[in-house]
A and B are shown apart, each in its own frame.
Chain A
């Protein structure tokens, strides 16, 4: 399952996508996030509990501000670079 976190405003749309099938819950991205926006949560996938990385609830609606510092780096952000499984992607589309 790919979960999209992000925002759309007049300037464009920014999304950070985490693929919970590819994520192994190692937590390296959590350690690397300068804003402590990521965490490990329990998600039920095919009736099994799996630990996966996710944007924490308190940051979910504030991505615009939380991720603003890393945003220009796109797919070289600390979280994307930390993931050895390639489970995290960032995208920006100017409107």
Chain B
């Protein structure tokens, strides 16, 4: 009996990386703070010097939150000559925020995402759609990045990063190409009717059997998720200064459909591949900023 080669390609796997903005120096600076955002799928860490971004890292969250926090913290320190002990204050956030061993304080990701988006895009940002690994959050904030209204999805992983990973695997399209693939269609198909990932997967298999192309199935799934996201955004209050954060901000299929449904363009996405800030790290960015504020407060300033 001859064994057939197994398809071992991990279509769901996305790029893990770390970056240091080498034009900045931390020497002689006092407020070196960090934010660690342990999400359900991705862990992110950011280091700031006096409230300015210095380094960040993105990795996959493992089955153990404290370990994931340590892993991403080691990653972000790599390439800098900083030691863990140089960091004056660390804020933990995200799904696993209570399990961040090096954190001085845990803060909900809502506050952190608003602060982070305020830093990445500037004070004009009002409406934020955060599409994470297992949750979708819609946030409305003021010019200081203070949250005024907040809403999280009521259901499960559907339409989130993890759901997209499941579809990448099912359709054998690498996750980083999934957005483009979903737009590679002649005509937008009607959205899938299931909001549960497990049921949507079953529905997708049925559609493939009916002869739909992979791209068309993906478009139908992406469309359904974009409709749900748009509803959440409308509820918290949509304004023209609208951005998408979280891992799915990199999914052009999602972002363009949400824009299309809402009739509003998102603010330009930073070029994170070329050294720009990463919207996926918005939570950790905000956490590091809040860490600076809390550090200064602890000094009595």
Contact = CB atoms under 8 A, between A and B. Distances in A.
Interface stretch (B57-65, B122-130, B147-155, B270-278): B147-155
A63 B151 CA distance: 13
Contacts of B288: none
Nearest to B235: A4
Contacts of A61: 154-156
B293 A1 contact: no
Contact of B297 (A2, A13, A15, A47): A47
A6 B235 CA distance: 11
A4 B297 contact: no
B226 to A, nearest CB: 15
Contact of B154 (A1, A7, A43, A46): A7
A8 interface: yes
A3 B137 CA distance: 11
A94 interface: no
Interface footprint category on A: 10 to 19
A60 B150 CA distance: 13
A64 B195 CA distance: 16
Contact of A4 (B105, B107, B151): B151
B236 A4 contact: yes
Contact of B148 (A1, A7, A13): A1
B47 to A, nearest CB: 20
A8 B235 CA distance: 11
Given A1-B148, A60-B154, 17 more contacts: A1-B149, A2-B150, A3-B150, A4-B150, A4-B235, A7-B154, A7-B155, A8-B154, A13-B235, A43-B108, A44-B108, A44-B111, A46-B146, A47-B294, A60-B152, A61-B154, A61-B155
B231 interface: yes
Nearest to A4: B151
Given A44-B107, A47-B294, A47-B297, A1 B150 contact: yes
A48 B154 CA distance: 28
Interface in B90-147: 105, 107-108, 110-111, 146-147
